[in-house]
Structure 1
Amino acid sequence: MSEKIYFNTSTKFSFKRSLVNLTTRLHHTVAPKHATKVARKLLLTPVRSTPKNSEPKGLIKGEVTSRDGVLKTYQLGTGPTWVLTHGWSGTASQFYPLMEHIAKQGYTALAYDHPAHGESEGVYGHIPAFVHGLEAILDSADDVAGLIGHSMGTASALECRHRKLEDVPMLLIAPVLDYVDNLFGSVARSGYSIRLFEAVVSEVEEQYRYPIHTVNPYQKLSVRSSSTIIVHDEKDKFTKFSVSQRAASEMENVTLVATQNQGHGRVMTCPQVMESFDKLIG
């Protein structure tokens, strides 16, 4: 169900949306604890997507233990490591074509399924789980040369304070740099009670000691000194191209590569992504 909420871009009047708003507000008023429990399951449970691409020859599967359970890893190639982190309701398999390209350039591509995604353990997905999962992957990785992220994976990468990311280049694909606005905007468009959603957020904040008001990928990107290339489709319906455009104009070390007709998902395997990776290692 969360897929329909977070990937709903319609702003037109909807009777169904109005009904959702009415029923969720009423539920929260009458039975707040039960409503929060139901909302947590509904809003924080990603879709377990099936693999998007065929496994490349030589792919090595592994496991890394994180705070939220065992994470499945997928490694290809030899040499310095580029870590790949996918987005909400995604899987590492979305990166297979890019991983093959990385391996051919003499690097190790290390992707993984986030908590509650793909073949990894975990029940709920949210930014603290994404960040802690990435930290566990980085702890296990040697000679990290750079990071590639897609969508929500870019937000968690920029939020991550791991020392292995301090001075490495990044390739951000369809990034969600305005994470908090994007998140609350998606929930608001669904009609779901914002007060109820805030109650869920509050529980996660307390559990992980991770205040949502501190989440600001745009600001974190602005203070990075290493090179970053953003590849973003001009008509992306789910993350704002205009925000990436502003970042490139305001930040000296950020370059924007605009694509057309690649959408939010297909852009992950477009030629501009491969070319941008080559530029970062060049």
Structure 2
Amino acid sequence: MSDKIYFNTSQKFNLRRSLVNAGTRIHHRVAPSHARKLARQLLLTPVRSAPKNPQPEAMLQGKVKSAHGDLTTYTLGEGPLWVLNHGWSGTANQFFPLMEFIAKSGFTALAYDQPAHGSSGGAYGHIPAFVEGLEAILDSVDEVAGIIAHSMGTASTIECKHVKANQCPLLLIAPVLEYLDNLFTSVKRSGYSMKLFEEVVAEVSAEYHYPIATIDPYGKLKLRQTPTLIVHDEGDRFTRFDVSQRVSQQAEKVTLIATTGLGHGRIMKSDPVKEAFLQLSNR
């Protein structure tokens, strides 16, 4: 259900939104502990999307242990390794067509389901879990040639402090760069009680020793010293194209490839993404 909150972009008056606002505020006032518990379940539980792409015959499936449970991995190809990191309510399955292209180009593609996503363990999804999931994957491999990430996966990739993440090129697809603004604006637009949401955020921040104020993918991307290519559709309804455009103008190492008509999801297996990969991998 949480994707209906985070991906609701309507600005129009909505009766349901008004009822959600009244209901969550009353619940929070009458039974604050119970309200926070339900809010965690609603706000931090992603939709486990059903697979849409067939699994290539040569693909190997495995498990990597993490603090949030076992992560399901999918590996295809031989050669230098590229790690693929999906977004909120997404799965590794979304990358299967791109992984086939990567494998045919002489590389190994390793995608995985983040905690609480796809076939991986874990009850909740949030930035600390996404970052720790990527760290577990990076710890499980030797060298990494590059990382490809989509949507919220881009924010967690930039936030990740693992040395392997910091020293390799990035291919960011439809990135979430102004993460906090995107998050709070989306929840506010849904009508959900902001006070209740802020209490849940504070609990997660304290639990994982990850102050939310430190989350700044945009600022951290500008400081990176390795090449980054962004592929973003001008008509993306879920992540802002103009933010990608601005960071590409301000950061020397960031280059934007603009597309049209591909939206937020279809872009993942598009030709511009494949061409960007070849450019980053020098093939």
TM-score w.r.t. length of structure 2: 0.99
Alignment match, 1:87: 87
> Which residue of the partner structure matches residue 160 of structure 1?
160
Q: Tell whether 2:209 aligns with 1:219.
A: no
Cα distance between partner residues in 1 of 2:241 and 2:140: 33
- Total equivalences in the alignment: 282
| Other-structure match for 1:147 | 147
CA distance in 1, matches of 2:260, 2:141: 35
Per the alignment, residue 170 of structure 2 pairs with 170
Partners of 1:63 and 1:88 lie apart in 2 by 20
- How far off its partner does 1:104 sit? 1.1
Cα deviation, residue 52, structure 1: 2.0
**Partner SS for 1:69:** coil
Out of 161-170 and 115-124, give the one that drifted further. 161-170
Q: What residue in structure 1 maps to residue 100 of structure 2?
A: 100
Once the two structures are superposed, the pairs formed by residues 93-132 of structure 1 within 5 Å of their partners are 93-132=93-132
Per-residue deviation, 1:57 = 2.3
The residue identity in structure 2 corresponding to 1:272 is P
Taking the aligned partners of 1:108 and 1:153, their CA distance within structure 2 comes to 19
Structure 2 residue ranges without an equivalent (≥5): none
In 2, the alpha carbon distance for the partners of 1:56 and 1:188 equals 41
* Identical residues among aligned pairs (%): 64
- CA distance in 2 between counterparts of 1:142 and 1:258 reads 33
What does residue 13 of structure 1 align with?
Answer: 13
Structure-1 residue corresponding to 2:64:
64
Q: Distance in 2 between the 1:169 and 1:52 partners?
A: 28
State the Cα distance separating 1:128 from its structure 2 match: 0.2
One-letter code aligned to 2:96: Y
Cα distance, 1:105 vs structure 2: 1.4
Q: Matches of 1:126 and 1:17 in 2, distance apart?
A: 23
Distance 2:143 2:205 in 1: 32
Matches of 2:208 and 2:117 in 1, distance apart? 19
How many angstroms apart in 2 are the aligned matches of 1:71 and 1:240? Answer: 30
Q: Distance in 1 between matches of 2:106 and 2:140?
A: 20
The CA distance in 1 between the partners of 2:64 and 2:259, in whole Å, is 35
How much has 1:94 moved relative to structure 2?
0.3
The offset of 1:137, in angstroms, is 0.2
1:210 is matched with which residue?
A: 210
Q: Report the Cα distance in structure 1 between the residues aligned to 2:192 and 2:69, rounded to whole angstroms.
A: 29
Equivalence for 1:198: 198
Alpha-carbon distance between aligned partners in 2 of 1:166 and 1:207, rounded to the nearest angstrom? 25
Residue identity matched to 1:71: L
Deviation of the 1:80 alpha carbon: 1.2
The 1-side partners of 2:234 and 2:56 are apart by 30
* Deviations 1:223-249 (CA, angstroms, capped at 9, x unpaired): 101110000000101100000000101
Q: Within the alignment, does 1:234 sit opposite 2:234 as a pair?
A: yes
Q: TM-score, normalised by structure 1?
A: 0.99
- Deviation track 1:188-216 (CA, whole Å, cap 9, x = no partner) reads 11000010001111110111010110000
Q: CA deviation at 1:165?
A: 1.5
Unaligned runs of 5+ in 1: none
CA shift for structure 1 position 143: 1.5
Q: CA deviation at 1:96?
A: 0.5
Q: Give the corresponding residue for 1:78.
A: 78
Distance 1:8 1:38 in 2: 20
1:257-276 deviation per Cα after TM superposition (whole angstroms, max 9, x unaligned)? 01111010001011000000
Deviation sequence 1:61-111 (CA, Å, 0-9, x none): 000000000000000011111000000000001000110111111111000
Structure 1 residue 187 displacement after superposition: 0.4
What's the offset of the Cα at 1:15?
A: 1.4
Match of 2:275 in 1: 275
Post-superposition CA distance 1:125-170 (Å, at most 9, x none): 0000000000000000122000000000000000000011222110
